[in-house]
Each structure stands twice: as C-alpha cells, then as structure tokens.
C-alpha cells in the first residue's frame, strides 16, 4: 500500500502541485481513509519528501542507463531531456518552483542531489564531446557544467519564465540548443542540425 500511495501522490503532485493536493484529495483518489495514509506517513511534508526523492532516484537511474548506451554526446543530452520531461509530466504544475516556495528544506536537499548528479553527468558528456571533436577543445569544463546547471534551474523559476508566456518543453528545447551552439564545433553543429530537423518531423 505504501508504494501505491507514493505513486499516486507523486502523480497528483506533478499534475496539480504540492500546495494544491491535500491529504483528503489523496485519500479520495486512492479510495482509502486518511488514517491509512497516516499509518505510512506521519504528515504531508514526509510524504512530499519521499515522493520527490523517489522521483529523483528514478530519474537518476534512467539517466545513468542512457549514459551507458554510448550515444554521441549531443544525442545523449536530447535523450536525457526527453526522459526527464516524460517522468516529470512536462512539469505542468511547476513542481520545483512550488517545492522551493512551500517546502524549502526538501527543495534544498533535492537541489543539492540534482547538482551532484548533473555535475558528474554533464562533465562526462563535455569531456566525451571534446574527445570526439564535436565540442570545442578549449572549453572550461567546470564553468560550462555549472553554467548549464544554473541555466536549466532558472528555466523553472516562474518569476523569470512565467508559464503563461513560456511552455517548459519549448524553454528546454531552446536552452539545450543555445547551450550546444555555444560549445559545438562545426561537426557538432551538423549533428545538432540533423537532430533539430528530425525533431520537427
């Protein structure tokens, strides 16, 4: 039952937001009593924490699997973006923004874990791209890794990118292209062009 509660709560939080979903809503969705939920989770913050960390570990595992497929680094970043958005339901409710606002301690823990995962993943991606000649050879790897993470994080800040004006999918597509055009060699830009044309079809 605990796993079912976690799965349903995660789905509701992603679709409706952490603030909007109450324990009553969750109990009704599951067709159980709140008492049953509280027998597994002492309060809503504990449930939110387990949902967010569970989702993080699921996405981290998926990204690890993608990185082991030995795609070229540009294809790899697009595949990771697709996988993350699929699992975050295109972030309909801006979950990270709500998490930061209403559950700052949980957000801080998650943000730290995301940075560690991102730092390792993107660093390896950049080094591989430089070795293959599709990223420029003079890149400051640590700088590019951190600025890419900072930019991706800012896309989810509704004060900067309000959802009424910017769809998250379009934002991530634009930012990924912006990032890659800044670090790619002519050969890398040809690969990027092929992917962009393929994505339009």
The answer to whether position 5 is within a domain reads no
How much is the pTM?
0.87
pLDDT of residue 103: 95
In DSSP notation, 137-174 reads: TT--HHHHHHHHHHHHHHTT-TTTS-TTT--HHHHHHH
pLDDT of residue 61: 95
Q: Confirm if 156 and 96 have CB atoms less than 8 A apart.
A: yes
Residue 90 has pLDDT above 60, yes or no: no
pLDDT of residue 93: 53
The answer to whether position 143 is within a domain reads yes
pLDDT band with cut points at 50, 70 and 90 for residue 87? confident
Distance of alpha carbon 106 from alpha carbon 44, whole angstroms: 12
Q: Which domain holds residue 118?
A: 51-200
The answer to whether position 136 is within a domain reads yes
Residue 86 has pLDDT above 90, yes or no: no
The answer to whether position 35 is within a domain reads no
The answer to whether position 107 is within a domain reads yes
The answer to whether position 9 is within a domain reads no
Residue 89 has pLDDT above 80, yes or no: no
pLDDT of residue 38: 96
Give strand pairing partners of 135: 184
Residue 10 has pLDDT above 90, yes or no: yes
Q: How many CB atoms lie within 10 A of CB 81?
A: 16
Distance of alpha carbon 15 from alpha carbon 143, whole angstroms: 34
The answer to whether position 148 is within a domain reads yes
Q: Confirm if 104 and 47 have CB atoms less than 8 A apart.
A: no
Instruction: Specify the 3-state DSSP secondary structure of 93.
Output: coil
Locate 131 and state its tokens.
């070795």
Round to the nearest angstrom and report the end-to-end CA distance of the chain. Answer: 43
Number of domains in the chain: 1
Length in residues, the chain: 201
pLDDT band with cut points at 50, 70 and 90 for residue 97? confident
Phi and psi dihedrals of 184, rounded to 5? Answer: -80, 150
Q: pLDDT per residue over 137-190, tens digit each?
A: 999 999 999 999 999 989 888 889 988 899 888 999 999 999 999 999 999 999
- 111 alpha carbon, distance to own chain's centre: 11
């Amino acid at each position: 039952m605990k796993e079912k509660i976690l799965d349903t709560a995660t789905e509701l939080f992603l679709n409706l937001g952490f603030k909007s979903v109450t324990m009553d809503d969750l109990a009704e969705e599951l067709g159980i009593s709140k008492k049953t939920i509280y027998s597994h989770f002492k309060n809503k913050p504990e449930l939110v924490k387990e949902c967010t960390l569970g989702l993080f570990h699921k996405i981290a595992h998926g990204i690890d699997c993608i990185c082991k497929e030995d795609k070229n680094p540009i294809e790899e970043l697009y595949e990771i973006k697709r996988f993350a958005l699929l699992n975050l339901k295109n972030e309909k409710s801006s979950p990270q923004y709500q998490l930061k606002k209403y559950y700052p301690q949980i957000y801080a823990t998650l943000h730290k874990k995301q940075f560690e995962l991102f730092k390792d993943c993107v660093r390896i991606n950049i080094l591989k791209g430089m070795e293959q000649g599709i990223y420029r050879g003079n890149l400051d790897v640590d700088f590019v890794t951190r600025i890419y993470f900072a930019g991706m994080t800012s896309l989810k800040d509704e004060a900067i990118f309000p959802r009424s004006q910017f769809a998250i999918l379009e934002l991530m597509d634009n930012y990924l292209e912006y990032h890659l055009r800044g670090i790619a060699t002519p050969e890398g830009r040809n690969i990027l062009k092929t992917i962009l044309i393929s994505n339009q079809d």
